[in-house]
Amino acid sequence: MKHRELVLSGLIVIAAIFLQISTNGIFLSTANLLAMADTKSIDAFVVIGVTYLLIAKEFDLSTASCMALSGIVCAWLMVNGFSIPISIVLVFGAGAAVGFTNGLLVTQFNIPSFIATLGTMLAARSLTQVVGQGAPVAFLPQDFIDIANFRIAGMPWTLVLLVIVVTVLQYLLKRQRSLFKLFYIGTNEKAAQMVGIKSKKQRWIMFVVSSTIAAFSGIVMTSKARSASPIAFQGMELRFIAASVIGGASISGGQGSILGAVLGFLVITLISNTMTQLGISPYWEGVIFGSILLAAAVADQVSQMKKTA
C-alpha cells in the first residue's frame, strides 16, 4: 500500500469505530455491512473508470447521467416487451455509445473533456426525462429484480466481483503495458506520442470503458431499486471524481490508484453516515464534500509544485 492508501485505511478504521459506538454496535454487524456493501459496491465500480481517465488527464462528468439513462432505458425496454437479455445488451450498447461520443469530441475535435462530458451529461439527463416522461418506470420483471439479489456464499455478488476486479486491475495498472501507458499520457502526452504511444486511441477507449461501467452500474441499481427514476444519481458524478482524487489520482494527470480510489469512495460513504449519526443536516453535504474535494485538489497541486521546484 502507498502512503495515501494507508492514511485512508486509517480514516476508515476511525470512522468505523465511531459509527460502531454511536450506533450501539449496529454499524459493524454483519447484516448492516452486507446491506451497505450491497448498494455501495455497485457505485464503486464507476470510480474505476473515472480513475483511469483522471490518470490520463481527462474528466468524465457524464457517468451519473449515463447510469440514470441506462437504468430507465433498460426498464422502458422490458416494460414494453423486450426480453431481459436483449434489453441489457442494448443498454450496454447505449452506454458505450455515450463513451464513444465523449471520446470522439475530446480526441477528434479537441474539445476539453470537462466541456464535452458536461454536454453529454446534460443531454443524457434530459433523455432520461424524455424516456420516462418525467416519471419513474416501474413494474419490472421479477427475473430482472432477482439479478441484484443474487448471493455468493451469502455475500452480494457485486461485492465479490468488485474485490476481484479491484485486485486484478490494481495489479494490471502498473504491469500491463496498455494500461501503464495511461501514466505516460497523463504526465506528458506529447512525449508519449513521440515514443509511439497512440494517446488518442488510449483515451478514446477509456471514455468508452467509463461509460460502459456506468451503464452496468445503472442496470444493477435499477434491478435493486425495482424501478428506474429520471432523477436518479444526481450529483454522483462529483462524488466519483472526489473519491478518485482523495484516493490519490491527480487532476493534473499521471498518477492514480484503483485501490486508492475505491478506498476514497468508502471514506466519502462513511463521512455521509457519520454526518447522519451526528445529526448534521443533509443540506450541508455538498459543502462538506466540496470542501474535501478542494482540499484534496490543493494538496495535489502543492505536491506537484514541490516536485517541479
Q: What is the CATH number of the domain that holds 202?
A: 1.10.3470
Average pLDDT over the chain reads 92
Residue with cell 441489457: 88
pLDDT, residue 46, reads 97
pLDDT, residue 173, reads 86
- Cβ neighbour number for residue 1 with a 10 Å cutoff: 12
Residue 34 is part of which domain span? 3-308
Calpha distance 255→185 (Å, rounded): 10
The more confident residue out of 301 and 263 is: 263
Q: Quote the number of domains for the chain.
A: 1
Calpha distance 304→283 (Å, rounded): 33
Least confident of 2-6, 50-54, 254-258: 2-6
The more confident residue out of 28 and 74 is: 74
The 10s digit of each residue's pLDDT in 272-284 is 888 888 888 888 8
Region of 160 on the Ramachandran plot (φ > 0 left; ψ -120 to 50 alpha; else beta):
alpha
pLDDT, residue 1, reads 59
Average pLDDT value for residue range 69-86: 97
Residues 6+ apart with CB under 8 A from 246: 8, 264, 267, 268, 292, 293, 296
